[in-house]
Each structure stands twice: as structure tokens, then as C-alpha cells.
Amino acid sequence: MQAVQFTEHGDVDVIEYGEFPDPEVGREDVLVDVKAGALNHLDVWTRRGLPGVDLEMPHVPGSDAAGVVQEVGEDVTRFEPGDHVAVLAGVSGGDDEFSRKGDPTLAPDFHIIGEHVPGVHSELAAVPEDNLAPVPDGVDWETAAAAPLVFQTAWRMLRDRGDLKAGEKVLVLGASGGVGHAAVQIAAHAGAEVFATASSDQKLSYAEELGADHTIDYSEEDFASEVRDLTDGRGVDMVVDHVGADTWQDSLGSLAKGGRLVTCGATTGGRPETDINRIFWNQLSVIGSTMATPGQAEEVLELVWDGTFEPRIRETLPMSEAARAHELLENREGFGKVVVVPDSER
């Protein structure tokens, strides 16, 4: 088969597209004929090299994909050849208390397809049965590939970890990115008043189309000061921050007393300066969140499949142009998700 791959960490020039051994199908695996994949910032970090993550090389990246079931392992019960499926990237292979509670993200052996183990940006992918969600026949492949990781992440952040309620004020940072544009839609759907940041008029206009009530160009304005002005000095009830070091202090400064900052990532660095005095004096909560349980993921995906939520696609490229796809994310070009399609499907 053909696959996106790299044999060493580095810049985009380490990415190749070429022959790779077909995957072996285990007893609990499903062999997927991949029709489309999608990128996340996780793919960029994995390619550059993550501390503590020792990959077997060559490595196939990719945590998002969708396609048709081609073959199933002998213990698989949920799928059969011909089914349409999408990948849910979080994996727990252990039989610990967290797995039994149905929350693999809390398991000691939790890992992510494409980050810790081979990914799915290839013509074929062998994926554990538990890491697939059914996709209705009418859903196009780009939507099915682009939705899972970002929508499940944003859904868990806002609804389950952040306990978002109707009428609350929510600030979403980086609203033009994958998690950000999903979070804007989920917050608006929940009945929140949504504040969104982005770096251009076009991106802010897209955020408004998806449900943002107020938009802030963070490249031109101090977003914490602007939030204070827009809320008559009160601040917001929740900040959704996946940016990290560059925004951390202003995220805390945007919160009302008793507010909560929910984070799922640190694109600009994971060791920010922090204002402890502000945290305890204003009784703020800092809440971490990673992806979602299978049940949470399938719950939000049902709202994607029925059209309630829309994964915006900024560009679709052949997998042979995966280096360009990585550049789009690194350079923050466009709004929404970048999709890659096997060259054989174009």
C-alpha cells in the first residue's frame, strides 16, 4: 500500500509518500480502506518529535480517518465488510479500573493512534474495533474524516469537564483551528454567549457564521482587556484554551470570579508563567481534558452526521502533498480542518 511516512523527526521535508507494508489484522482489528484522513496539530508535534515518545520508524502519522471496512478480525462483532466507519484515536489496551468505567483517557496505558502507535494516513489501516464509530452512508468522506478528534475533544471539554450551562459566557481561543471551531459550535448549541478569538477578519467572520456572538482579533487587540470591556468588567465563566504559554496569563485574566479555564493542549508551549494569586483569590478552576470516551465521541458525532455541527474544511490535498498539509497547520493558514486523500482515490 501507499502511506504518508517519515523515518526521522524534523521539518516537513522528512515527510514522504510511498510504499509501506500492508497492516496485519489482529483478532480484534478492522481493516479499513481509507477514503480520507484529516490533520491535527498533533501530527505536527509528532513529526517534530515529542519528549518521552519513542516511535518505531518509519512512522505513519494521522489520528483522523474514515473509510470502508474491508476485512474484520475473528473476534470483531460490531462491524462487517462494507460498513462505513471513522477512527476514534484514543486507545486503552488495559483491564484497569478506568477502562472498566468506560473512560480510556484516564487509563495508565492510554495512547493515541498516530502519536504513540502507527497512524491512519495510508491507503489501508488496521484499527481496533473499539476505536471505530459507524458513519451513515449519506455522510461524505471529508466530513467523516475531519470531525472525530476535534469534536470529541471540544465536546468533552465544554460539556463533561467544563460543565457548561446555558446562559454562561464562554471564550474560545483560536476559533479558526480544529478544536476551536468545534468549540464555538458546541458552546452556541448549548445556549452560551460565545466570545471567539482569531487573527484575521475572514477567520472572525467564519467564527460568527458558526455561532460566535463576539469576536476579537488577538493580533490587534489584547483579548483579556477586550473581554473585560465586553462584559462590563465581569469576565467570562469559561475559557477554552488549547494554545498554551502565549495565552495563559490572559486566559486567567479573562475569567470572572469562580470561573474555569479548560485546557486540552499547549500549541505554543506547556510551561507558561502563571498567576497563582489570581487563581486562589478569584477561586478559579483549571481543568484538564483529553479527547473523550467512546460514548461521548459517538454522542457528538451523531450531531455532526445529522448536520447540527459542521467541520469546516480549509483545504483537501492528496496524501502525496502531506508536507503542504503540515505547512497549512504550522502557518495557521485558513479556517478549519485540512483533509488528505489517498492519491488512488483522487
Dihedral (CA of 322, 326, 332, 336) sign? positive
pLDDT (tens digit per residue) in 42-70? 999 999 998 878 889 999 999 999 999 99
| Bigger pLDDT: 195 vs 244 | 195
Average pLDDT over residues 128-145: 96
pLDDT the model gives residue 99:
56
Percent of the chain with pLDDT over 70: 97
CB 30 within 8 A of CB 72: yes
Average pLDDT over residues 203-231: 95
Paired with 36 in beta bridges are: 66
Distances (CA, A) of 103 to 163, 168, 299: 17, 27, 14
Of 109-118, 199-208, 330-339, the least confident: 109-118
Rounded to whole angstroms, the Cα distance separating 10 from 239 reads: 32
Rounded to whole angstroms, the Cα distance separating 344 from 158 reads: 38
| Bigger pLDDT: 53 vs 74 | 74
Question: How does the average pLDDT of the chain come out, rounded?
Answer: 93
Of 73-87, 177-191, 220-234, 271-285, the least confident: 271-285
| Beta strands 236-241; 285-288: pairing state | unpaired
pLDDT (tens digit per residue) in 150-188? 999 999 999 999 999 999 999 999 999 999 999 999 999
pLDDT the model gives residue 4:
98
Whether residue 250 has pLDDT greater than 90: yes
Rounded to whole angstroms, the Cα distance separating 48 from 267 reads: 13
Domains of the chain: residue spans and CATH? 2-147+311-345 (3.90.180.10), 151-288 (3.40.50.720)
pLDDT the model gives residue 314:
93
pLDDT the model gives residue 109:
74
Whether residue 298 has pLDDT greater than 70: yes
pLDDT the model gives residue 91:
74
Average pLDDT over residues 284-299: 93
Question: Would you state the cell numbers that stand for residue 204, as one nine-digit string?
Answer: 472572525
pLDDT the model gives residue 332:
86
CB 275 within 8 A of CB 297: no
Rounded to whole angstroms, the Cα distance separating 257 from 270 reads: 24
User: Residues with Cβ < 8 Å from 11, sequence gap 6 or more?
Assistant: 48
In DSSP notation, 54-100 reads -PPSSB---SEEEEEEEEE-TT--S--TT-EEEE--EE----SHHHH
Rounded to whole angstroms, the Cα distance separating 236 from 231 reads: 7
pLDDT the model gives residue 95:
60
pLDDT the model gives residue 275:
86
Paired with 127 in beta bridges are: 30
Phi, psi of 344 (to 5 degrees): -70, -15
In DSSP notation, 164-190 reads --TT-EEEESSTTSHHHHHHHHHHHHT
pLDDT the model gives residue 243:
86
Percent of the chain with pLDDT over 90: 79
Average pLDDT over residues 99-112: 73
Place of cell 455522510: 139
Whether residue 233 has pLDDT greater than 80: yes
Average pLDDT over residues 217-237: 95
Whether residue 100 has pLDDT greater than 60: no
Average pLDDT over residues 303-309: 98
pLDDT the model gives residue 101:
59
H or E element: which one contains 255?
strand 255-263
CA dihedral 55, 60, 64, 66 (to 10 degrees): -140
315: helix, strand or coil = strand
Question: Would you state the cell numbers that stand for residue 188, as one nine-digit string?
Answer: 452556541
